[in-house]
Structure 1
Amino acid sequence: MNYLDIGCRALLTAVFATAAIGKMRPGGFAGFVASLAPIRWIGAAARRPAAVATVAAEAAAILLLWIPGTALAGYLLAVGALAVFTATLVIGLRQGTTLRCRCFGYDAGPVRPHHVARNLGLGVVAVLGLAAAATTTMATDPAGWAIAILVGAVAGLVTIRWDDLAFVLSSPTR
Protein backbone atom coordinates (compact mmCIF):
# COMPACT_ATOMS: atom_id res chain seq x y z
CA MET A 1 0.00 0.00 0.00
CA ASN A 2 1.30 3.37 -0.95
CA TYR A 3 -0.19 5.86 1.47
CA LEU A 4 3.21 7.52 1.92
CA ASP A 5 3.12 8.50 -1.76
CA ILE A 6 -0.40 9.93 -1.42
CA GLY A 7 0.48 11.88 1.72
CA CYS A 8 3.61 13.30 0.08
CA ARG A 9 1.59 14.34 -2.97
CA ALA A 10 -0.96 16.08 -0.74
CA LEU A 11 1.71 17.91 1.26
CA LEU A 12 3.58 19.10 -1.84
CA THR A 13 0.31 20.08 -3.50
CA ALA A 14 -0.74 22.19 -0.52
CA VAL A 15 2.62 23.97 -0.41
CA PHE A 16 3.12 24.47 -4.14
CA ALA A 17 -0.51 25.51 -4.72
CA THR A 18 -0.36 28.08 -1.93
CA ALA A 19 2.97 29.35 -3.27
CA ALA A 20 1.80 29.62 -6.89
CA ILE A 21 -1.57 31.17 -6.02
CA GLY A 22 0.05 33.59 -3.58
CA LYS A 23 2.49 34.76 -6.21
CA MET A 24 -0.28 35.19 -8.80
CA ARG A 25 -2.57 37.31 -6.62
CA PRO A 26 -2.66 41.08 -7.25
CA GLY A 27 0.63 42.55 -6.09
CA GLY A 28 2.03 39.14 -5.27
CA PHE A 29 3.77 38.59 -8.58
CA ALA A 30 5.30 42.08 -8.78
CA GLY A 31 6.54 41.71 -5.21
CA PHE A 32 8.02 38.31 -6.00
CA VAL A 33 9.80 39.66 -9.08
CA ALA A 34 11.19 42.55 -7.01
CA SER A 35 12.37 40.14 -4.31
CA LEU A 36 14.68 38.49 -6.85
CA ALA A 37 16.75 41.70 -7.26
CA PRO A 38 19.35 40.87 -4.55
CA ILE A 39 20.04 37.44 -6.08
CA ARG A 40 23.31 38.09 -7.90
CA TRP A 41 23.01 35.33 -10.47
CA ILE A 42 19.63 36.55 -11.71
CA GLY A 43 20.14 39.66 -13.83
CA ALA A 44 17.54 42.42 -14.11
CA ALA A 45 16.30 41.17 -17.49
CA ALA A 46 15.94 37.61 -16.16
CA ARG A 47 13.92 38.42 -13.03
CA ARG A 48 10.49 38.30 -14.61
CA PRO A 49 11.22 35.13 -16.64
CA ALA A 50 12.68 33.51 -13.50
CA ALA A 51 9.54 34.41 -11.55
CA VAL A 52 7.31 33.01 -14.33
CA ALA A 53 9.42 29.83 -14.42
CA THR A 54 9.09 29.47 -10.65
CA VAL A 55 5.30 29.72 -10.71
CA ALA A 56 5.14 27.44 -13.76
CA ALA A 57 7.33 24.82 -12.05
CA GLU A 58 5.17 24.92 -8.91
CA ALA A 59 1.97 24.52 -10.94
CA ALA A 60 3.43 21.87 -13.25
CA ALA A 61 4.66 19.82 -10.30
CA ILE A 62 1.14 19.75 -8.87
CA LEU A 63 -0.40 18.62 -12.14
CA LEU A 64 2.25 15.98 -12.76
CA LEU A 65 1.88 14.59 -9.25
CA TRP A 66 -1.79 13.81 -9.83
CA ILE A 67 -2.04 12.95 -13.55
CA PRO A 68 -1.91 9.15 -13.84
CA GLY A 69 1.48 7.93 -15.03
CA THR A 70 3.31 11.22 -14.41
CA ALA A 71 3.84 11.21 -10.64
CA LEU A 72 7.55 10.35 -10.94
CA ALA A 73 8.05 13.35 -13.23
CA GLY A 74 6.15 15.51 -10.74
CA TYR A 75 8.36 14.38 -7.91
CA LEU A 76 11.51 14.93 -9.97
CA LEU A 77 10.34 18.45 -10.87
CA ALA A 78 9.59 19.14 -7.19
CA VAL A 79 13.03 17.86 -6.13
CA GLY A 80 14.74 19.97 -8.80
CA ALA A 81 12.77 23.12 -8.00
CA LEU A 82 13.36 22.73 -4.27
CA ALA A 83 17.07 22.16 -4.88
CA VAL A 84 17.27 25.44 -6.83
CA PHE A 85 15.22 27.31 -4.22
CA THR A 86 17.35 25.95 -1.37
CA ALA A 87 20.67 26.57 -3.11
CA THR A 88 19.61 30.15 -3.83
CA LEU A 89 18.77 30.74 -0.16
CA VAL A 90 22.00 29.13 1.07
CA ILE A 91 24.15 31.13 -1.36
CA GLY A 92 22.38 34.34 -0.38
CA LEU A 93 22.84 33.65 3.34
CA ARG A 94 26.53 32.75 2.86
CA GLN A 95 27.14 35.93 0.86
CA GLY A 96 25.43 38.04 3.49
CA THR A 97 22.79 39.13 1.00
CA THR A 98 19.46 40.16 2.48
CA LEU A 99 16.86 38.15 0.63
CA ARG A 100 13.17 38.53 1.37
CA CYS A 101 11.00 35.42 1.65
CA ARG A 102 8.09 35.89 -0.74
CA CYS A 103 7.63 32.16 -1.15
CA PHE A 104 3.88 32.37 -0.67
CA GLY A 105 3.36 35.72 -2.37
CA TYR A 106 3.60 37.94 0.69
CA ASP A 107 6.65 39.37 2.42
CA ALA A 108 7.50 37.00 5.27
CA GLY A 109 10.59 38.95 6.21
CA PRO A 110 14.24 38.30 5.59
CA VAL A 111 15.38 34.80 4.70
CA ARG A 112 16.73 32.96 7.74
CA PRO A 113 18.16 29.49 8.27
CA HIS A 114 14.69 28.16 9.13
CA HIS A 115 13.66 28.85 5.52
CA VAL A 116 16.50 26.60 4.38
CA ALA A 117 15.35 23.94 6.87
CA ARG A 118 11.80 24.19 5.53
CA ASN A 119 12.98 23.70 1.96
CA LEU A 120 15.27 20.82 2.93
CA GLY A 121 12.33 19.16 4.68
CA LEU A 122 10.19 19.60 1.57
CA GLY A 123 13.00 18.09 -0.48
CA VAL A 124 13.05 15.07 1.81
CA VAL A 125 9.28 14.72 1.39
CA ALA A 126 9.66 14.86 -2.41
CA VAL A 127 12.42 12.21 -2.36
CA LEU A 128 10.39 9.96 -0.04
CA GLY A 129 7.35 10.34 -2.27
CA LEU A 130 9.45 9.58 -5.34
CA ALA A 131 10.84 6.44 -3.73
CA ALA A 132 7.37 5.33 -2.59
CA ALA A 133 5.81 5.95 -6.00
CA ALA A 134 8.63 4.18 -7.81
CA THR A 135 8.70 1.06 -5.65
CA THR A 136 5.11 0.25 -4.71
CA THR A 137 1.68 0.03 -6.29
CA MET A 138 -0.99 2.63 -5.75
CA ALA A 139 -3.21 2.16 -2.72
CA THR A 140 -6.90 1.57 -3.38
CA ASP A 141 -8.65 1.88 -0.01
CA PRO A 142 -10.71 5.12 -0.03
CA ALA A 143 -10.44 5.52 3.75
CA GLY A 144 -6.67 5.18 3.55
CA TRP A 145 -6.56 7.75 0.77
CA ALA A 146 -8.66 10.17 2.84
CA ILE A 147 -6.41 9.78 5.87
CA ALA A 148 -3.22 10.13 3.81
CA ILE A 149 -4.54 13.26 2.07
CA LEU A 150 -5.67 14.75 5.38
CA VAL A 151 -2.30 14.08 7.05
CA GLY A 152 -0.46 15.47 4.02
CA ALA A 153 -2.65 18.56 3.91
CA VAL A 154 -2.18 19.25 7.63
CA ALA A 155 1.59 18.80 7.25
CA GLY A 156 1.39 21.17 4.28
CA LEU A 157 -0.43 23.75 6.40
CA VAL A 158 2.28 23.48 9.07
CA THR A 159 4.88 24.01 6.35
CA ILE A 160 3.04 27.01 4.92
CA ARG A 161 2.85 28.60 8.38
CA TRP A 162 6.52 27.75 9.07
CA ASP A 163 7.49 31.39 9.64
CA ASP A 164 4.81 31.80 12.30
CA LEU A 165 5.94 28.61 14.03
CA ALA A 166 9.58 29.70 13.90
CA PHE A 167 8.60 33.01 15.50
CA VAL A 168 6.55 31.38 18.25
CA LEU A 169 9.28 28.85 19.03
CA SER A 170 12.18 31.32 18.89
CA SER A 171 13.85 32.75 21.97
CA PRO A 172 12.44 36.07 23.06
CA THR A 173 14.66 39.05 22.35
CA ARG A 174 15.26 41.77 24.83
Structure 2
Amino acid sequence: MAYLSLGIGVLLTGVLLVAVLGKLGRRGGFTGLAGSLDAFGLRGRVARPAAAALLAAEAIAVVALWWPAGGRVGAVPAVLLFTAYTAGVAWTLHRRLAVDCACFGTSRDRLRGRHLARNAALLTVAATAAVLPAGGAVEAAPAAVAAVAGAVGAALFVFWEDLAAVMSGAPAPSNERNLP
Protein backbone atom coordinates (compact mmCIF):
# COMPACT_ATOMS: atom_id res chain seq x y z
CA MET A 1 0.00 0.00 0.00
CA ALA A 2 2.97 2.32 0.46
CA TYR A 3 3.49 2.46 -3.30
CA LEU A 4 -0.17 3.17 -3.97
CA SER A 5 -0.07 5.96 -1.39
CA LEU A 6 3.04 7.38 -3.03
CA GLY A 7 1.51 7.27 -6.52
CA ILE A 8 -1.72 8.88 -5.35
CA GLY A 9 0.21 11.54 -3.47
CA VAL A 10 2.19 12.42 -6.60
CA LEU A 11 -1.01 12.46 -8.69
CA LEU A 12 -2.89 14.78 -6.33
CA THR A 13 0.14 16.99 -5.81
CA GLY A 14 0.64 17.33 -9.56
CA VAL A 15 -2.98 18.25 -10.22
CA LEU A 16 -3.14 20.76 -7.37
CA LEU A 17 0.23 22.35 -8.20
CA VAL A 18 -0.75 22.83 -11.83
CA ALA A 19 -4.04 24.32 -10.65
CA VAL A 20 -2.30 26.83 -8.37
CA LEU A 21 0.46 27.70 -10.82
CA GLY A 22 -1.97 27.96 -13.72
CA LYS A 23 -4.09 30.45 -11.83
CA LEU A 24 -1.14 32.49 -10.61
CA GLY A 25 1.23 32.11 -13.54
CA ARG A 26 -1.08 33.00 -16.41
CA ARG A 27 -2.32 36.46 -17.21
CA GLY A 28 -5.99 36.45 -16.36
CA GLY A 29 -5.82 33.17 -14.41
CA PHE A 30 -6.67 34.61 -11.01
CA THR A 31 -9.14 37.08 -12.50
CA GLY A 32 -10.82 34.23 -14.38
CA LEU A 33 -11.19 32.29 -11.15
CA ALA A 34 -12.67 35.30 -9.38
CA GLY A 35 -15.02 35.88 -12.31
CA SER A 36 -16.21 32.26 -12.29
CA LEU A 37 -17.27 32.67 -8.67
CA ASP A 38 -19.87 35.17 -9.82
CA ALA A 39 -22.15 32.24 -10.66
CA PHE A 40 -22.14 31.34 -6.98
CA GLY A 41 -23.14 34.80 -5.85
CA LEU A 42 -19.59 35.83 -4.94
CA ARG A 43 -19.32 39.19 -6.66
CA GLY A 44 -17.43 42.43 -6.33
CA ARG A 45 -15.28 42.73 -3.25
CA VAL A 46 -16.06 39.19 -2.14
CA ALA A 47 -14.91 37.42 -5.33
CA ARG A 48 -11.20 38.19 -5.08
CA PRO A 49 -10.82 37.13 -1.43
CA ALA A 50 -12.85 33.98 -2.15
CA ALA A 51 -10.58 33.19 -5.11
CA ALA A 52 -7.53 33.78 -2.92
CA ALA A 53 -9.00 31.45 -0.30
CA LEU A 54 -9.46 28.71 -2.92
CA LEU A 55 -5.86 29.14 -4.08
CA ALA A 56 -4.66 28.99 -0.49
CA ALA A 57 -6.73 25.86 0.12
CA GLU A 58 -5.16 24.19 -2.92
CA ALA A 59 -1.67 25.11 -1.69
CA ILE A 60 -2.48 23.88 1.83
CA ALA A 61 -3.71 20.60 0.36
CA VAL A 62 -0.38 20.12 -1.41
CA VAL A 63 1.56 20.73 1.81
CA ALA A 64 -0.80 18.53 3.84
CA LEU A 65 -0.32 15.62 1.44
CA TRP A 66 3.40 15.58 2.17
CA TRP A 67 3.45 16.77 5.78
CA PRO A 68 5.51 14.13 7.62
CA ALA A 69 2.98 13.68 10.42
CA GLY A 70 0.01 14.08 8.09
CA GLY A 71 -0.59 10.46 7.17
CA ARG A 72 -4.13 9.84 6.02
CA VAL A 73 -5.27 13.12 7.54
CA GLY A 74 -3.10 14.90 4.97
CA ALA A 75 -5.55 13.89 2.24
CA VAL A 76 -8.54 15.50 4.00
CA PRO A 77 -7.98 18.99 2.52
CA ALA A 78 -7.88 17.46 -0.98
CA VAL A 79 -11.10 15.54 -0.25
CA LEU A 80 -12.78 18.75 0.92
CA LEU A 81 -11.57 20.71 -2.11
CA PHE A 82 -12.66 18.12 -4.65
CA THR A 83 -15.99 17.70 -2.85
CA ALA A 84 -16.59 21.45 -3.16
CA TYR A 85 -15.43 21.54 -6.79
CA THR A 86 -17.57 18.55 -7.75
CA ALA A 87 -20.62 20.03 -6.02
CA GLY A 88 -19.96 23.43 -7.61
CA VAL A 89 -19.78 22.02 -11.12
CA ALA A 90 -22.88 19.87 -10.51
CA TRP A 91 -24.78 22.91 -9.26
CA THR A 92 -23.64 24.97 -12.24
CA LEU A 93 -24.72 22.28 -14.68
CA HIS A 94 -28.03 21.76 -12.91
CA ARG A 95 -28.80 25.47 -13.12
CA ARG A 96 -27.60 25.53 -16.76
CA LEU A 97 -25.27 28.43 -16.05
CA ALA A 98 -22.61 29.43 -18.58
CA VAL A 99 -19.46 29.45 -16.46
CA ASP A 100 -15.93 29.18 -17.83
CA CYS A 101 -13.68 26.50 -16.42
CA ALA A 102 -11.02 28.18 -14.29
CA CYS A 103 -9.62 24.93 -12.96
CA PHE A 104 -6.07 25.20 -14.27
CA GLY A 105 -5.83 28.85 -15.19
CA THR A 106 -7.39 30.56 -18.15
CA SER A 107 -9.87 28.75 -20.33
CA ARG A 108 -12.69 29.69 -22.64
CA ASP A 109 -14.32 26.29 -22.28
CA ARG A 110 -17.64 26.26 -20.42
CA LEU A 111 -18.14 23.85 -17.54
CA ARG A 112 -19.57 20.61 -18.90
CA GLY A 113 -20.24 17.08 -17.80
CA ARG A 114 -16.62 16.16 -18.46
CA HIS A 115 -15.55 18.61 -15.74
CA LEU A 116 -17.99 16.98 -13.34
CA ALA A 117 -16.59 13.55 -14.23
CA ARG A 118 -13.00 14.75 -13.76
CA ASN A 119 -13.74 16.30 -10.38
CA ALA A 120 -15.67 13.22 -9.22
CA ALA A 121 -12.74 11.02 -10.26
CA LEU A 122 -10.31 13.29 -8.39
CA LEU A 123 -12.59 13.18 -5.35
CA THR A 124 -12.48 9.37 -5.51
CA VAL A 125 -8.69 9.41 -5.71
CA ALA A 126 -8.42 11.82 -2.76
CA ALA A 127 -10.90 9.76 -0.71
CA THR A 128 -8.84 6.66 -1.45
CA ALA A 129 -5.75 8.45 -0.15
CA ALA A 130 -7.64 9.34 3.02
CA VAL A 131 -8.48 5.72 3.83
CA LEU A 132 -5.23 4.03 2.81
CA PRO A 133 -3.03 2.85 5.65
CA ALA A 134 0.04 4.94 6.34
CA GLY A 135 2.93 4.19 4.01
CA GLY A 136 5.94 2.31 5.27
CA ALA A 137 9.43 1.76 4.02
CA VAL A 138 9.78 1.62 0.25
CA GLU A 139 12.43 0.46 -2.15
CA ALA A 140 13.78 2.93 -4.70
CA ALA A 141 12.86 1.21 -7.97
CA PRO A 142 9.19 0.44 -7.17
CA ALA A 143 8.85 3.88 -5.56
CA ALA A 144 10.11 5.47 -8.78
CA VAL A 145 7.56 3.48 -10.79
CA ALA A 146 4.78 4.58 -8.43
CA ALA A 147 5.90 8.22 -8.67
CA VAL A 148 6.01 8.09 -12.48
CA ALA A 149 2.57 6.46 -12.56
CA GLY A 150 1.27 9.25 -10.32
CA ALA A 151 2.80 11.89 -12.58
CA VAL A 152 1.23 10.31 -15.66
CA GLY A 153 -2.11 10.19 -13.83
CA ALA A 154 -1.77 13.87 -12.95
CA ALA A 155 -1.08 14.73 -16.59
CA LEU A 156 -4.17 12.80 -17.66
CA PHE A 157 -6.31 14.78 -15.23
CA VAL A 158 -4.76 18.11 -16.21
CA PHE A 159 -5.36 17.42 -19.90
CA TRP A 160 -8.77 15.80 -19.28
CA GLU A 161 -10.63 18.40 -21.37
CA ASP A 162 -8.37 17.82 -24.36
CA LEU A 163 -8.63 14.05 -24.03
CA ALA A 164 -12.42 14.21 -23.74
CA ALA A 165 -12.57 16.37 -26.87
CA VAL A 166 -10.40 13.91 -28.79
CA MET A 167 -12.48 10.94 -27.63
CA SER A 168 -15.76 12.62 -28.55
CA GLY A 169 -14.53 13.95 -31.88
CA ALA A 170 -15.28 17.51 -30.79
CA PRO A 171 -12.79 20.31 -31.32
CA ALA A 172 -10.28 20.77 -28.51
CA PRO A 173 -11.20 23.35 -25.89
CA SER A 174 -10.31 26.90 -26.84
CA ASN A 175 -7.88 27.89 -24.13
CA GLU A 176 -4.41 29.06 -23.46
CA ARG A 177 -2.47 25.99 -22.44
CA ASN A 178 -3.13 25.47 -18.78
CA LEU A 179 0.48 25.07 -17.77
CA PRO A 180 2.41 28.07 -16.49
**Normalised TM-score (structure 2):** 0.88
Identical pairs, percent: 36
Q: CA deviation at 1:172?
A: 5.0
Q: CA deviation at 1:171?
A: 4.2
Q: CA 1:153–1:95 in structure 2 vs 1: closer, same or farther (change >3 Å)?
A: same
CA distance in 1, matches of 2:170, 2:17: 32
CA distance in 2, matches of 1:47, 1:19: 18
CA distance in 2, matches of 1:21, 1:172: 27
Q: CA 1:30–1:154 in structure 2 vs 1: closer, same or farther (change >3 Å)?
A: same
15-24 vs 42-51, which moves further: 42-51
23-32 vs 53-62, which moves further: 23-32
Q: CA deviation at 1:108?
A: 4.6
CA distance in 1, matches of 2:113, 2:44: 26
- Aligned CA-pair RMSD: 1.6
CA distance in 2, matches of 1:47, 1:28: 14
**How many residues are paired up?**
170
Q: CA deviation at 1:74?
A: 2.6
Instruction: Kindly report which structure 2 residues correspond to 1:7-46, keeping only aligned pairs within 5 A, or say none.
Output: 7-25=7-25, 26-40=27-41, 42-46=42-46
> Is 1:114 aligned to residue 141 of structure 2?
no
Aligned to 1:160: 158
Q: CA 1:43–1:82 in structure 2 vs 1: closer, same or farther (change >3 Å)?
A: same
CA distance in 1, matches of 2:120, 2:44: 28
Q: Residue 38 of structure 1: SS of its match in structure 2?
A: helix
Q: CA 1:50–1:71 in structure 2 vs 1: closer, same or farther (change >3 Å)?
A: farther
Q: 2:22 touches 2:29 (CA, 8 Å); kept in 1?
A: yes
- Write out the 4+ residue segments of structure 1 that deviate beyond 4 Å after TM superposition: none
Deviations 1:139-174 (A, max 9, x none): 42111211111000001001000000010011459x
CA distance in 2, matches of 1:115, 1:21: 19
CA distance in 1, matches of 2:134, 2:97: 43
CA distance in 2, matches of 1:18, 1:82: 15
Aligned to 2:3: 3
**Normalised TM-score (structure 1):** 0.91
Structure 2 residue aligned with 1:149, among 147, 150, 158? 147
